[in-house]
Amino acid sequence: MLKQHRELSMSIRRMIENNEEAGIRPSKTYQSFVAAAGGHRELNFIEKDVRNYITREVRNVSEQEDAKEFGKYLLRMKEKNPNFFFELQLEEDQSIKLAFWADARSRAAFEYFGDVISFDTTYNTNRYNLVCGSFVGVNHHGQSTLLGCSLMKNEEIESFKWLFQSWSKDSFDRNWNDFLLNFGLADNKWLSGSREQAERESDAADFHTLIPCATKSCIEAQFQDAYTHAKFREVQAQFRGKANCITRLKNSALGYSVYDVGEQVSSSIFNKFVVTYDSVAAEVKCQCLLFESRGILCRHALSVLSFEQISQVSPRYILERWSKKVKRRHTHIKSSHDEPLMEPRSKRFDQLVFRSQNICEFASESKELTAILHRAYDNVMAEMESLKAKRKGTSSLSHEDANLESVNELQSPPRIRTRGRPKNRLGSKLEKQIANATKKKKTKVLSEVKVLFFKFVAIEFIFLVNSLGNVCVLYFR
């Protein structure tokens, strides 16, 4: 296929942009076009055109502009939500050395899930070799929740020192109630966003569904009523594991008892754990320290509570952070997602496609409706082509009526490729006409001079012949 015959339509370009934003590889995008068209020959472009469009148009931010775009992104997020926090440390040449940022939702989530935080610097960026760090907590469903992000030029002690100072400077203990009231977010419903989508769905399942208990234990029912589904399943795993435990009282005095709990892990192997129970304080502790590390009572402690015939555990063992009944303020705050920067034409195209889908779906119900739509399309197309023809060649743009949309509509002149070394200067059409006229004039003058010269030579020749004739006559006389 010749290059001048290859073209990407508006719908194709929009699909390429959407797929690129979704992380779909260019090869997969092209194969989807091939499958939809029914073969490679049905397309008027090739895979290279798709890749070139992504390189030129979609990823058109140069390396020199990356830092500026990153700064603009932070400012946009701050403008959308005043509680978006960021801080940068720059080198002498104004390049980014360290960066930290956290959105309003992450800062609010820290209030509930900031008891245990992991800081991970596993990943780095390819282009600038910056270390990407993430502050991650665990929410009430046992899912990872992002509490902050960072970029570091190196992993030296001073870099970590600055980063953790920025982390502490980001005042998570501010009054979020006042913030929610000031911005009218107290009664907001869930807002869209990929990061909180899983938490949203889990919360809905917790309130509208119920996981049945695996045993007849009242303690299990106590956790069933309080905990989220994800955490209750972990509790149930401990209740099922209790069946493999053999409990034996070692000694007891003044309400304080010590138990040996043997857990059968295979046909002939038992692991032994020491569990203490204080009946006065209603406190149970196990040597495995599962509750201290994960916030869930272990099967060894549950076995001892069953041995003691305890029907209700102390509230200290039902942690609020795993509760499905607590209304957490961070769920009312939208994550800071940047909107894709779209040209006005792309926005109009998407709006038209969205509306036309409903019309086409309705019209496809019968042949009569389809015919009506076809006639309407033909009339509208004729009207638009007429309007476009009137505007063609007469459009103008002045400082008085120019706006951002009209400027974005401007297109660059077509690029012309030349062979070999180009001339220093290409003369205009007018200059060529003047040169040609001058050349013709010079040619005409030269012709007239030549005519006069030949006339002069002829006259001189005739005069010379006549003179020679007279001389000859005199001589012969």
Q: Are 277 and 283 in contact (CB under 8 A)?
A: yes
C-alpha–C-alpha distance, residues 262 and 266, integer Å: 12
In a domain, 288, yes or no: yes
How many independent structural domains does the chain possess? 3
Q: List CB contacts of 469: < 8 A, sequence separation 6 or more.
A: none
More confident residue, 211 or 333: 211
Q: Would you say 235 and 227 are in contact if contact means Cβ atoms under 8 Å apart?
A: yes
Last residue in a domain, options 152, 170, 188: 170
- The Cα–Cα gap between 15 and 391 comes to 29
pLDDT band at 312 (very low <50, low <70, confident <90, very high): very high
pLDDT digits 0-9 by tens, 444-467: 655 665 556 555 555 655 655 565
> Looking at 299, 322, 345, which one is the last position of a domain?
322
* 111 and 216 fall within a common domain: no
In this predicted structure, which of 14-23, 366-375, 400-409 has the lowest mean pLDDT? 400-409
Task: Verify that 68 and 51 share a domain, yes or no.
Answer: no
At 238-284, the pLDDT tens digits run 999 999 999 999 999 999 999 999 999 888 889 999 999 999 999 99
Domain end (from 265, 291, 322): 322
Mean pLDDT of 305-334: 81
Which residues have C-beta within 8 Å of that of residue 380, sequence separation ≥ 6?
none
Q: Do 50 and 72 lie in a common domain?
A: no
28 lies in a domain? Answer: yes
DSSP for 156-209 reads -HHHHHHHHHHHHHS-TTS-HHHHHHHTT-TT------HHHHHHHHHHHHHHH-
Give the pLDDT band (50/70/90) at residue 144. confident
- Give, in order, the Cα–Cα distances in Å from 102 to each of 135, 145, 170, 340: 9, 12, 8, 20
Residue 192 pLDDT greater than 50, yes or no: no
Question: Is 274 inside any structural domain?
Answer: yes
The per-residue pLDDT for 243 is 92
Q: Which pLDDT belongs to residue 190?
A: 33
Answer yes or no: is 424 within a domain.
no
Distance between first and last Cα of the chain: 96
Which whole number is the average pLDDT over 111-125? Answer: 80
Let me know whether 162 and 117 are in one domain: yes
- pTM score of the predicted model: 0.46
pLDDT bin (cut points 50, 70, 90) of residue 363 is: confident
Inside any domain, residue 346: no
Instruction: Say if residue 333 is exposed, middle or buried (CB neighbours under 10 Å; 0-12, 13-18, 19+).
Output: buried
54 and 67 belong to one structural domain:
no
Residues 337, 338, 339, CA angle at the centre, nearest 5°? Answer: 115
Q: Which two tokens stand for residue 52?
A: 């070139």
Residue 262 lies in a domain: yes
- Residue 291 pLDDT: 94
Q: What's the confidence (pLDDT) of residue 178?
A: 47
Domain of 231? 207-322
pLDDT of residue 284: 96
For 14, other C-beta atoms within 10 Å of its C-beta total 17
Q: How big is the chain, counted in residues? A: 477
Same domain, 51 and 93: no
Question: Pick the residue with more confidence: 51 or 124?
Answer: 51
My answer on whether 27 and 106 are in the same domain is no
Same domain, 45 and 113: no
**pLDDT score for 191:** 32
Given this model, what pLDDT does residue 439 score?
66
pLDDT of residue 304: 96
- Residue closest to 15 by CA, chosen among 37, 33, 3: 33
Q: 86 in a domain, yes or no? A: yes
* 79-85 average pLDDT score: 83
Are 75 and 160 part of one and the same domain? yes
Structure tokens, 167: 């982390």
Q: Are 261 and 161 within one domain?
A: no
Instruction: Judge whether 394 lies within some domain.
Output: no
Confidence (pLDDT) at 396? 39
Whether residues 76 and 114 fall in one domain: yes
